[in-house]
Amino acid sequence: MKNIDMNPYQPYRKMGLSCELREIKEKRVIWPLINQIDPNNPNFRLRTVTRNDLEEVAELWRASYPEVYGSVHEWILDPQEYEKRVAFAENWKEHSVTRPNAMFVGEDLQAGKIVMSSIYTKWNRNLHVEASFIAIHPDARKGKIASSIWSNLASFYKWLEESGAEYVTVFCETWHNITQYIWFKRLGWKIAGIFPGNFTRWAGGNNEYRGCTIHFYRLINDGIRYTNQPEEWSLIPEVKELWDCLEKINAKSTEEGLKE
Ligand SMILES: CC(C)(COP(=O)(O)OP(=O)(O)OC[C@H]1O[C@@H](n2cnc3c(N)ncnc32)[C@H](O)[C@@H]1OP(=O)(O)O)[C@@H](O)C(=O)NCCC(=O)NCCS
């Protein structure tokens, strides 16, 4: 925290009347270290990435999520980029605090292959974790391994609570609706909005377009206590109408995938 004298200034309007306030202190999210064999499938392990995995994982991203080529997210296709961003299992004590990205992979132990990868981004001072990317290798989709992946991810989101995060988000691409379904119906997250043209995405060859993403959120830990409520948001009528509509739709979000 910078030592800036804020005494001469004041916020635009007194806010935070509909929630609790707290003293500003140093805030941080600490990535959990994951290494778990699926209790229902001894052939599947979810674990934190190591440096030995980098070539294999980058290849998985290239085969499974090539749409990020040419975009702000292109770094996930290039293992050299991981070195300064990603938290590695072998440096956990330091990296779990300092690295902005965590990568958890799913391993098919029988085949000795990484079949899934997922990337998370954190903003310590906002106690925010974004579930940024998930991909299952095309050969492992829709089978026994795929269902292990989803049940293990659900337990991962429970571990996230221990990281100290209080606001978690995800953006879902719109070339299919599978992840929208999973986050909304299985993991109980709420729709924050529809972002047309949000990210550039690869269209094959040397072409790109701007794709639409759907954004979801969830407040965990004590996040809700410090979140101000609609009664103190200043909204134009159309935005208020949109909020009421969103709330009606978000009431349909369910946690099918979090039941033991
Ligand atoms: C997205 C991805 C991880 C999904 O994996 P998948 O194995 O293809 O997923 P499935 O189609 O088997 O769907 C998973 C489950 O959700 C269910 N589901 C998905 N969408 C659904 C919908 N719209 N309505 C009802 N059920 C739905 C499926 O029935 C399945 O459940 P089941 O195993 O109980 O049958 C995978 O396709 C992938 O890696 N794609 C490329 C990268 C990508 O698009 N990443 C996500 C960007 S947001």
DSSP string across 220-257? -TTGGGGSPPGGG----HHHHHHHHHHHHHHTT---GG
Q: Whose CA is nearest to atom 39 of ligand 1?
A: 135
Domain range for 249: 35-258
125 found inside a domain: yes
pLDDT at 150: 85
Element (H, E) at 82: helix 79-85
pLDDT at 143: 76
pLDDT at 155: 79
Q: With a 6 A CB cut-off, is 132 part of the ligand 1 pocket? A: no
CATH of the domain at 242: 3.40.630.30
pLDDT at 197: 98
pLDDT at 260: 61
Work out the mean pLDDT of the chain and round it to a whole number: 95
60 found inside a domain: yes
91 found inside a domain: yes
Q: With a 6 A CB cut-off, is 181 part of the ligand 1 pocket? A: yes
Q: With a 6 A CB cut-off, is 138 part of the ligand 1 pocket? A: no
> Which tens digits make up the pLDDT trace of 113-129?
999 999 999 999 999 99
What count of other Cβ atoms lies within 10 Å of the Cβ of residue 183? 26
218 found inside a domain: yes
30 found inside a domain: no
Whole-number Cα distances in Å, 121 to 86, 179, 236: 9, 18, 32
**DSSP strand pairing (167-173 vs 128-136):** parallel
> Which tens digits make up the pLDDT trace of 15-53?
999 999 999 999 999 999 999 999 889 999 999 999 999
pLDDT at 156: 77
Considering only CA atoms, which of 126, 71, 81 is closest in space to residue 101?
A: 81
> Which tens digits make up the pLDDT trace of 148-197?
888 888 877 778 899 999 999 999 999 999 999 999 999 999 999 999 99
Query: Of all atoms in ligand 1, which is nearest to the CA of residue 136?
Result: 39
pLDDT at 133: 97
216 found inside a domain: yes
- Under DSSP, is residue 132 helix (H, G, I), strand (E, B) or coil? strand
Q: How many domains does the chain have?
A: 1
Percent of the chain with pLDDT over 70: 100
23 found inside a domain: no
Q: Which of 69, 137, 141, 178 best tests ligand 1's pocket when mutated (most atoms within 8 Å of CB)? A: 178
